[in-house]
Amino acid sequence: MRLDKFLSVTATATRSETRRAVRAGEVIVNGAVARDPADDIDENTAVVAFRGQTVTYRKHHYILLNKPAGYVSATEDSGPTVLSLLPEKYTVLGLFPCGRLDKDTEGLMLLTDDGETAHRLLSPRRHVTKRYAFRVERPLTEPEKAAFRAGLTLSDGTTTAPADIETDETGAAGVVTLTEGKYHQIKRMMGALGNRITALERVSFGPLTLPADLPRGAWRPLTDEEETALLAAAGTEN
């Protein structure tokens, strides 16, 4: 693999940044100063340092994002997408959202370039859980929560799987746990009960939990432990 491509696919630097860094003697390959960004390296064995930081090659990337309202869960759209929250150097990685959150829904979103793992995580057969904190227009009654847990028939005749729901003492806020991902599912389930969602935030997806210290609109790569747990949930362990 070319050195500039290696630094690009590891989200270390754009190719123009790599050219500037090589000219400045800021890229070290196997202990020697790199002279040409077009040099070929073995991405699996080369020891590369960029501006003093060792660069590790990964076949796939996994980004945990705290999605704000107003961003579309897509790679392209007429409005701002979740990918626009990442730096330019990430645009070449082929990242895409693993699943969707409505434009006005906030919280945990996984971005990746690993199509197989994403497909497995979203497959209904794997029953990967997704938890959402919610607020509704009026308090839910106990019979309504029981109906939610049993599965509901939506306005178009679609039947949902049972979904766990817990509320606080007001009955107007709580957490829903889904094992499927139908279009606007929680909003439609509340609609089937004659209620309306006023706030919705995804707080977990499989083994991933939204970090309390990750501000809205911020992102970070998964930790090694999170990545291992995610791949185990998908059944695609390396």
Average confidence score pLDDT of the chain: 94
- Does residue 28 contact residue 34 with C-beta atoms inside 8 Å? yes
Per-residue confidence (pLDDT) for residue 92, from 0 to 100: 83
Residues composing the chain: 238
Q: What is the pLDDT of residue 121?
A: 95
Strands 48-50 and 27-29, by their bridges, are antiparallel
Active site residue 102: yes
pLDDT of 238: 56
Q: Which of 102, 114, 156, 224 is catalytic?
A: 102
66 within 8 A of 219, measured Cβ to Cβ: yes
Q: What was the pLDDT predicted at 137? A: 97
The tens digit of pLDDT for each residue in 36-58 reads 999 999 999 999 999 999 998 98
CATH topology for the 62-124+207-234 domain: Alpha-Beta Plaits (3.30.70)
The pLDDT score that the predictor gives to residue 127 is 87
Superfamily of domain 129-205: Alpha-L RNA-binding motif (3.30.70.1560)
Residues 213-238, mean pLDDT to the nearest whole number: 93
User: Where in the chain are the domains?
Assistant: 3-55, 62-124+207-234, 129-205
Measured distance CA(6)–CA(120) in Å, rounded: 28
3-55 against 129-205: fold identical? no
* pTM, 2 dp: 0.87
Tokens found for residue 157: 């005749």
CA distance 24 to 147: 66
* 64-91 mean pLDDT: 93
> 3-55 has which fold?
3.10.290
Could you report the per-residue pLDDT of 109-166, keeping only the tens digit for each?
999 999 999 999 998 888 899 999 999 999 999 999 999 999 999 989 999 999 999 9
